[in-house]
Structure 1
């Protein structure tokens, strides 16, 4: 990112308008990258904070799913366990704990996109409390 900022400054100092445009674009990329880095670190910190609260309450989901010899969770077992957490989240849609556990179930079932969405919902509810 430092090199990109340096190049952006050099390009912005060039008299050619195309170089100035490229310099402006080069300046935006590190800013977007920095924003993404900070937001991901904040997301991770909040997730860790929620996990500590759940651990203290004894509410973390137990990882007792059967695994293949390579260590991967057996998909059918994860899908069966997922239903339990889905019903829990539907029964208590305003409880961040249920969304956290649902996110873990999505992750175990291999659906990372929905796991991340459920965890974002959990973080949002956690921050509102």
Structure 2
């Protein structure tokens, strides 16, 4: 899987370089429209590089937390819960899991492990927006504990 991600990142950077080169070509025309379009085209690879970087960084940080949770033996065990044909948890089971994890988190919301677990519970419950918010919070808490 890592090699696929590496290949896609390299392909994106090649694309960004070609796009940037085209932007400079438009600027070199010296025409007002060309300069305006060239600046816009050059901004696209800059935004793309930032998006690739931030996505990869978040993925690496999430994997780091997942390994730490596994090492602590605090992963959410969903192996006994009923699963839909789509692979998602049954709604009632996901809600029950979420209620249990939420109670743990409310008891100690400053512990990154509890925040990580509630982020995963949000994901299992289908609330991706809150899952991302809580995962960002868990990463911040983890780095604070680690002194970074």
Range class of TM-score, shorter chain: over 0.9
What is the rounded CA distance, in whole Å, between the counterparts of 1:19 and 1:40 in structure 2?
32
**Is 2:87 aligned against 1:71?**
yes
Asked whether 1:94 is paired with 2:99, we answer: no
Determine the C-alpha separation between the residues in 2 that align with 1:72 and 1:85: 18
Name the stretch that deviates more: 57-66 or 116-125. 57-66
Aligned-pair RMSD on alpha carbons?
Answer: 1.1
Per the alignment, in what secondary structure is the counterpart of residue 66 of structure 1? coil
In the superposition, the TM-score normalised over structure 1's length comes to: 0.94
- Aligned-partner Cα distance in 1 for 2:88–2:144: 35
Deviations 1:41-60 (A, max 9, x none): 11111111111111111011
* TM-score, length of structure 2 as denominator length: 0.83
Residue equivalent to 1:51: 66
Unaligned runs of 5+ in 2: 1-15
How many residues were matched structurally? 129
Give the corresponding residue for 1:25.
40
Distance 2:65 2:45 in 1: 30
SS in 1 for 2:78: coil
For the residues of structure 2 that align with 1:114 and 1:81, how far apart are their CA atoms? 16
1:112 and 2:128 aligned: yes
* Post-superposition offset of 1:14: 1.3
Q: Deviations over 1:15-74 (max 9, x none)?
A: 112211111111111111111111111111111111111111101111232112443310
What whole-Å deviation, never above 9, does each CA across 1:69-89 have from its counterpart, x for those lacking one?
443310111011101111222
Counterpart CA distance in 1 for 2:116 and 2:64 is 12
Q: How far apart in 2 are the matches of 1:80 and 1:25?
A: 49
Higher RCO (C-alpha under 8 Å, 6+ residues apart): 1
Distance 1:70 1:20 in 2: 50
